[in-house]
Amino acid sequence: MIEFENVSFTYKKKDELVLRNVTFSIKKGELVAFVGRNGAGKTTLIKHINGLLRPAEGEVRVNTENIIKKPISEMAKIVGLAFQNPNHQLFAETVKKELEFGPKNLGIDEEEREKIVLDIAKQFNITHLLERSPFELSGGERRLVSIASVLTMNQQILVLDEPSFGQDYRQKEMLGNYLKELSDNGMTIIVVSHDIDFISEYIPRVIVLLDGEITADGATLDILSDDDLIRKSDLDRPILLDLVDSIKSKYPEFQSFLKETMIADNLLTILTQEKTKKGGSM
């Protein structure tokens, strides 16, 4: 459980507030996305979850405990954070050593560490990169490695800042499905992203930030189909909704067809299957 209660924050006492009276709660096992224009306060907010930042006002609670006095080292055992720029996180000589670092610090023996690293590497399809330097990899590969290195710690909460950036379609599909699986198994996952199409496909709940305040919180389809909210928050509209609206404008009977066949629930699956057949482009 993550709870923010009337949280406000400023980097300097005389500066304008970056977060203003932010209140929300996220249950164990939820998969949630924070969206908003640049400067909305998203990255500042997630840094409060693991104690990198502390609120000027209000409370942040993790597992019902106020974390204001908890050291970062203690919170790091509960909350894993993958930064927006993987270069701020990666440091080891090889990908394998990068993935081993967290389990080694937790005192996990070599045999178990090896199993953890191989399992995560297979899940992310990066086994062929294990002996390479992370700094020789593409931007998308480095991002996968940075996320994988956090997951080797097996924390209760995972926070990902722009995880789909630089990923091709198949990498996004792999990542999205894996996040769903982790959520189904009880891990709480928070994603910060501008990738509205990734969010619309894989993240069931969205919280919108605008100028440091929460302006909307709800089911992803409800939030992302609110055109007034999308315009006010300077967000992109999901391609899927644009496609459906385009079809409806040309074929008015399509609306009743959607309701009768429930094709709206399956349209995304159909489109992604076609996308895969065409090698990831549509």
Q: Where is pLDDT greater, at 13 or 141?
A: 141
Alpha carbon separation from 267 to 47, 113, 233, 237 (Å, rounded): 36, 42, 26, 16
CB 190 within 8 A of CB 160: yes
- Band of pLDDT at residue 238, cut at 50, 70 and 90: confident
Residue 121: pLDDT over 80: yes
The C-alpha atoms of residue 156 and residue 75 are separated, in whole angstroms, by 10
- Band of pLDDT at residue 178, cut at 50, 70 and 90: very high
pLDDT tens, residue by residue, 147-174: 999 999 888 999 999 999 888 888 899 8
Q: Do 197 and 211 sit in the same domain of this protein?
A: yes
Q: Do 171 and 249 sit in the same domain of this protein?
A: no
pLDDT at site 65: 92
Q: Do 266 and 126 sit in the same domain of this protein?
A: no
Three-state DSSP state, 153 = coil
- Band of pLDDT at residue 260, cut at 50, 70 and 90: very low
| Torsion-angle region of 100 (φ positive above 0: left; ψ -120 to 50: alpha; else: beta) | alpha
- The closest of 190, 250, 169 to 48, measured between CA atoms, is 190
Q: Do 245 and 187 sit in the same domain of this protein?
A: no
Task: Report the CATH number at residue 171.
Answer: 3.40.50.300
- Residues 222-244 have a mean pLDDT of 81
- The closest of 41, 51, 52 to 19, measured between CA atoms, is 41
193: number of CA atoms within 13 Å, CB side? 27
CB 178 within 8 A of CB 168: no
pLDDT at site 215: 95
Q: Do 181 and 43 sit in the same domain of this protein?
A: yes
| Average pLDDT of every residue of the chain | 85
- Band of pLDDT at residue 252, cut at 50, 70 and 90: low
Count of structural domains, the chain: 2
pLDDT at site 133: 93
Q: Do 57 and 160 sit in the same domain of this protein?
A: yes
pLDDT tens, residue by residue, 25-72: 999 999 999 999 988 999 999 999 999 999 999 999 999 999 998 998
Q: Do 67 and 51 sit in the same domain of this protein?
A: yes
Q: Per-residue DSSP letters for 205-223?
A: EEEEEETTEEEEEEEHHHH
pLDDT tens, residue by residue, 65-106: 999 989 988 898 899 999 888 787 888 889 999 999 988 888
Q: What domain range includes position 277?
A: 238-282
The pTM of this model reads 0.81
